[in-house]
């Protein structure tokens, strides 16, 4: 069965005329209400990203997830992503194990390098060690998840010698995913380790990612991993409304403004309506429209990539809380049932 859920980064609303940024406190309270609704409408999972920028509200996903665990009953709660390269795997495991215990075994951890680099100088890491940090910390995180006490030696932190890491997750195991973009080496590594992978498709033609999915599955099977435990997902920008053109017209100014804010730091040209319209087409990376369009596109993506999980990234640019709640209702009540029904065939 295909799992359907939502990923968010906690974008703050920014007034286009004045530049005034929404209060972080208000946005955090809205996020908890939104997660509660996701659970009520029967979505399978929620993921929260980690950022250290003025236009995002959430620096510690695990704190949001701990709060959400007290107002939800069934939905899985994870990060999307935790920037593993610039954090301590011991503390990260402890925090998510705590969320897992609070939520009665619903916590997940998604590790990634992150698409922003603010956390490296903030926590005292050198960008020249970008790849080595991730590899070493992933190795330590995976060992903590399966060994207690642990003995471990690496390059970037002191050795652990017969050290207990507590508390332990429910059933002494925490589900750990890896998030990847388009880096071949990252895809192969995840496949070799037998880890579930979430592919971020946030631009261009989504069908062009098929060779990477095939490469992951080949690496997974070639290394003797159990196909009964095979999990692969995709993360795509999405937003839903009752009328396709109306929701597109409402969402474009919000989405394009955030693309331009990010693009200003990366040398991108101004975001154009033509890019947005292509993104909404059958070949584009956006799933923005009414429920029927979303159902058709999600099913196409699912069949093309042999997905077990689909994550709709729904708060790019921070649409209003009212519109977010409406989109969540449409996703849970109209889109998810039809996608699940079709996925059984």
Residue spans of the domains in the chain: they are 3-343
Residue 137 has pLDDT above 80, yes or no: yes
Supply the CATH classification number for the domain 3-343: 3.20.20.30
pLDDT band at 194, cuts 50/70/90? very high
**Span 230-241, pLDDT tens digits:** 999 999 999 999
Strand, helix or coil at 233? strand
Burial of 139 (0-12, 13-18, 19+ CB in 10 A): middle
pLDDT band at 345, cuts 50/70/90? low
**Span 73-121, pLDDT tens digits:** 999 999 999 999 999 999 999 999 999 999 999 999 999 998 899 999 9
CA distance linking residue 208 with residue 213, whole number of Å: 10
CA distance linking residue 228 with residue 111, whole number of Å: 22
29, 85, 217, 277 from 13: Cα distances, Å: 14, 28, 39, 23
| pTM beyond 0.95, yes or no | yes
11, 114, 122, 281, 303 from 117: Cα distances, Å: 17, 7, 9, 31, 34
Q: How many other C-beta atoms lie within 10 A of the C-beta of residue 6?
A: 27
Q: Are 71 and 36 in contact (CB under 8 A)?
A: yes
Tokens linked to 232 = 């692969």
The mean pLDDT of 7-16, rounded to a whole number, is 96
**Span 245-289, pLDDT tens digits:** 999 999 999 999 999 999 998 999 999 999 999 999 999 999 999
Strand, helix or coil at 165? coil
The mean pLDDT of 55-63, rounded to a whole number, is 97
């Amino acid at each position: 069965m295909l799992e359907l859920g939502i990923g968010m980064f906690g974008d703050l609303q920014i007034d286009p005329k004045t530049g005034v940024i929404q209060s972080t406190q208000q946005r955090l309270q809205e996020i908890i209400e939104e997660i509660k609704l996701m659970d009520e409408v029967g979505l399978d999972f929620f993921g929260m990203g980690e950022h250290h920028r003025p236009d995002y509200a959430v620096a510690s996903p695990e704190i949001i997830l701990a709060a959400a665990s007290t107002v939800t009953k069934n939905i899985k709660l994870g990060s999307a992503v935790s920037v593993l390269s610039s954090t301590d795997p011991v503390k990260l495991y402890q925090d998510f194990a705590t969320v897992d215990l609070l939520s009665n075994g619903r916590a997940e951890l998604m590790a990634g390098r992150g698409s922003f680099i603010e956390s490296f100088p903030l926590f005292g890491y050198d960008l020249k060690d970008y790849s080595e940090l991730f590899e070493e910390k992933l190795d330590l995180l995976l060992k903590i998840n399966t060994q207690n006490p642990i003995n471990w030696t690496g390059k970037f932190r002191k050795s652990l010698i017969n050290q207990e890491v507590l508390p332990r997750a429910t059933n002494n195991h925490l589900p750990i995913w890896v998030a990847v973009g388009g880096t071949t080496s990252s895809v192969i590594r995840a496949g070799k380790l037998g880890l579930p992978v979430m592919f971020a498709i946030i631009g261009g033609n989504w069908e062009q990612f098929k060779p990477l999915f095939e490469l992951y599955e080949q690496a997974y099977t070639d290394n003797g991993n159990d196909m009964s435990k095979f999990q692969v997902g995709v993360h795509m920008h999405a937003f839903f409304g009752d009328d396709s053109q109306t929701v597109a017209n409402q969402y474009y100014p919000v989405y394009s403004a955030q693309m331009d804010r990010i693009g200003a730091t990366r040398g991108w040209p101004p975001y154009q309506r033509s890019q947005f319209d292509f993104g909404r087409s059958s070949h584009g990376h956006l799933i923005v429209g009414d429920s029927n369009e979303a159902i058709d596109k999600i099913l196409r993506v699912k069949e093309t990539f042999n997905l077990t999980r689909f994550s709709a990234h729904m708060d790019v640019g921070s649409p209003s809380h009212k519109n977010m709640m409406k989109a969540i209702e449409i996703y849970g009540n109209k889109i998810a049932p039809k996608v699940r029904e079709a996925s059984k065939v």
